[in-house]
Amino acid sequence: MTAIRRFLPGWLSSYAVLYLVFLYLPVIFLPIFSINTAATPKFPLSGVTLHWYEDLPRTPALIDATWNSLIVGVSASTLSTVLGILAARSITRYRYPGRRAINGLIMAPLVLPEVIVAISMLLVMLQLGLSLSLFTVVLGHVLVCIPYSMTVLTSGFEGFDRSLEEASADLGESAFGTFRRVTLPMVAPAIISSLLVCFTISLDEFIIAFFLTGTEATLPIYIWGQLRFAAKLPGVLALGTLLLFASFVLMTIAEILRRRAARRTQNEGGLYA
Amino acid sequence: MATAPVRPADLEADAPRAAGRTGARRFSFSEYAGFIPAVVLYGLFFAVPLAIVVAYSFWEVVDYNVVHNWTLDNYRYFFSVPTYVTTLWATLWVSVLATGLTIAIAFPFAYWLVRYVPRKLQRVLLVLVILPFWTSYLLRVMSWKVILGYNGVLNSGLMGLGIIDEPSTALLYNSTAVIITLTHAWAAFAILPIFVSLEKVDRTLVEAATDLGDGPLRSFLRVTLPLSAPGVISAALIVMIPTVGDYVTPKLVGGKDGVMIANAIQAQFGKASNWPLGAALSVTTMIIVSLMAGATVLVFRALQRLAR
């Protein structure tokens, strides 16, 4: 028993290190093999090259997919953040019957298998006579982004001191003026953080885009198509590395902003524990 | 995943409410209003679609056309074809194993984080744990393919070390590969809830158990573990539900043996183009996921009671 007490911290620490290695393992291999001269990813590396990266801008299908992803990402993140602001404002400010039920409805897509969410949306869009396009992908992404956007925004809106708004109104500012000059600056970091989180989710989302897009591919769909060809792997790895890097940067900024927002309204919590 | 709404806002909200009661109930519409766009969107593109899927599962296909005749044939057919039933069982098995494994390897890490790491470092490590999971799911699964493949990292590494003579084909394209990939893909979603519940465990209770003569192992089993059950339960649910419906992982690393129910569903809506059957598969999957979720909660509750 004393052996457990003496050696446990040591064992656990080495286990923790191994576990972190396990978590980062796949993420590390993408950049490593993206600069390998050989097309098959194996050790030892046959040589270092930036060739695969140089090829990327010369692929028209990839450029199209990038534009599509940017269009979808910007529209989906803007829409879900606007809807998230309205909903989060309502949920943090007022208390009325059914509030939790409505919140539950909005969170529901997170607890259903994504494939089912995707096919049910596909069915309804075909029933409504909407032809599949980037627009239907945006709708689908808005649906999966709002739960995240709401979580980020509620943590930014909670604990918001309403007397500041009242003071502004008392001093003669109009409702819109109060919103623009008092409310907005206070919650701006949360809003930007929500935009970034939603953009990242949309940029990386595959299943829903796979079902709901017509002929236009987003980046993950482009990658999915390339995976069938072994010779295309290094290009995919290079593209993947760039996407990985973009996600890291966006999420880090989002997290810093979210913390700043939480500090501003004296509140902790949210997406990251 | 929803964080509970905050108390201060609730308290403050009483003021306009009281005003609303005396005045002309001015609060009702404007307060709901913020939710309306989102609710309309979710109604139209989430709740209604689910209802349509359920309806589809009871419709007939005649000459490649969906006819609105109510029938149970889709379900009957589904359960009469061995392939579908085996796929369903295999899916549940893989998802249960992956969930169990994810929790089993995440728990010691979360425990270490709570017990032996200073608070400041805890936050940093948590961010470090979550960061890889904000990258594309597709890319992470693809890297496992690179790691486990015939010419992959693991094979070439093992050969380089002289442990094996020729590449092993046993690593990729089977359900083990699916389980490994899923265990990695959902790790963060297990660590967070377990961490939160372990953090809430009152240390004085553990000390009390030690003072009363329990060794470290027994106090862990009888105090810490049962008290962390809520975190383990939510981790189990958060991991299990999406893994049952996963499409990408079985498709990329599962091969023939690793086919899961989501692949079968997709096939019905794609190539096979038998939507009612696909809908029946989806509804069955949803029902089974709910049953499994319920069963998980009950099993863990029972274990928790047993441990005390």
The string of pLDDT tens digits covering residues B30-63 is: 666 777 888 888 888 888 888 888 888 888 777 6
* Alpha carbon distance A18, B225 (integer Å): 23
Contact between B246 and A113 using a beta-carbon 8 Å cutoff: yes
What does the pLDDT read at residue B31? 65
Residue numbers in chain A where pLDDT is lower than 50: 267-273
Q: State the DSSP code for A231.
A: G
**% of chain A surpassing 90 pLDDT:** 18
Query: What mean pLDDT is reported for chain B?
Result: 81
Tell me how far CA of residue B100 lies from CA of B95, B239, B302, in angstroms: 8, 9, 17
Sign of CA dihedral B53, B34, A110, B135: positive
Picking from B146, B171, B186, B269 by the largest number of A CB atoms within 10 A of its own CB, the best residue to mutate is B146
Contact between A114 and B245 using a beta-carbon 8 Å cutoff: yes
User: How long, in residues, is chain A?
Assistant: 273
Domain B82-307 has CATH 2.40.50.140: no
Q: Which residue of chain A has the CA closest to B131?
A: A248
Average pLDDT for residues B155-163, to the nearest whole number? 79
Phi, psi of A161 (to 5 degrees): -80, 105
* Alpha carbon distance B54, B303 (integer Å): 35
Of B17 and A74, the one with more pLDDT: A74
What does the pLDDT read at residue A79? 94
* Alpha carbon distance B212, B104 (integer Å): 29
Contact between B135 and A270 using a beta-carbon 8 Å cutoff: no
Nearest to B6 among A30, A104, A159 (CB): A159
What does the pLDDT read at residue A81? 93
Helix (H, G, I), strand (E, B) or coil at B65: strand
The string of pLDDT tens digits covering residues A18-61 is: 999 999 988 888 888 888 777 777 766 777 788 788 888 888 88
B162 touches chain A (CB under 8 A): no
* Alpha carbon distance A211, B53 (integer Å): 15
Sequence ranges of chain B with CATH classification 1.10.3720.10 = 82-307
The string of pLDDT tens digits covering residues A245-272 is: 888 888 788 778 877 776 765 544 444 4
What does the pLDDT read at residue A43? 67
Distance from CA of A160 to the nearest CA of B (A): 8
Contact between B35 and A91 using a beta-carbon 8 Å cutoff: yes
Contact between B142 and A20 using a beta-carbon 8 Å cutoff: no
Complex ipTM more than 0.95, yes or no: no
Q: Which domains occur in chain A, in start order?
A: 62-264 (1.10.3720.10)
CB contacts under 8 A, B 114-143 vs A, are 115-116, 126-132, 134-140, 142-143
B289 touches chain A (CB under 8 A): yes
Straight-line distance from the first to the last Cα atom of chain A, in angstroms, rounded to the nearest whole number? 34
Contact between A43 and B153 using a beta-carbon 8 Å cutoff: yes
- Beta carbons within 8 Å of B212's beta carbon, 6+ residues apart: none
Q: How many CA atoms lie within 13 A of B195 on its CB side?
A: 24
Contact between A29 and B42 using a beta-carbon 8 Å cutoff: no
The string of pLDDT tens digits covering residues B219-252 is: 888 888 888 888 898 889 888 888 888 888 998 8
Residue B215 has pLDDT above 60, yes or no: yes
User: Buried b / exposed e across A151-170, counting CB within 10 Å, b at 16+?
Assistant: bbbbbbbbbbeeeebeebee
- Name chain B contacts of A224, Cβ cutoff 8 Å: 138
Contact between A26 and B241 using a beta-carbon 8 Å cutoff: no
- Name chain A contacts of B265, Cβ cutoff 8 Å: 115-116, 119
Contact between A106 and B42 using a beta-carbon 8 Å cutoff: yes
Which of A257, A261, A271 shows the shortest CA–CA distance to A158? A261
Model pTM?
Answer: 0.80
Neighbouring CB atoms inside 10 A of A269's CB total 15
What does the pLDDT read at residue B73? 81
Q: Are B148 and B177 in contact (CB under 8 A)?
A: yes
Q: Which residue of chain B has the CA closest to A272?
A: B127
Nearest to A92 among B9, B14, B146 (CB): B9
**B18 band by pLDDT with thresholds 50, 70 and 90:** very low
Sign of CA dihedral A78, A84, A85, A87: positive
DSSP string, B149-199: STTSHHHHHHHHTTS-SS--SSSSSSHHHHHHHHHHHTHHHHHHHHHHHHH
**B11 band by pLDDT with thresholds 50, 70 and 90:** very low
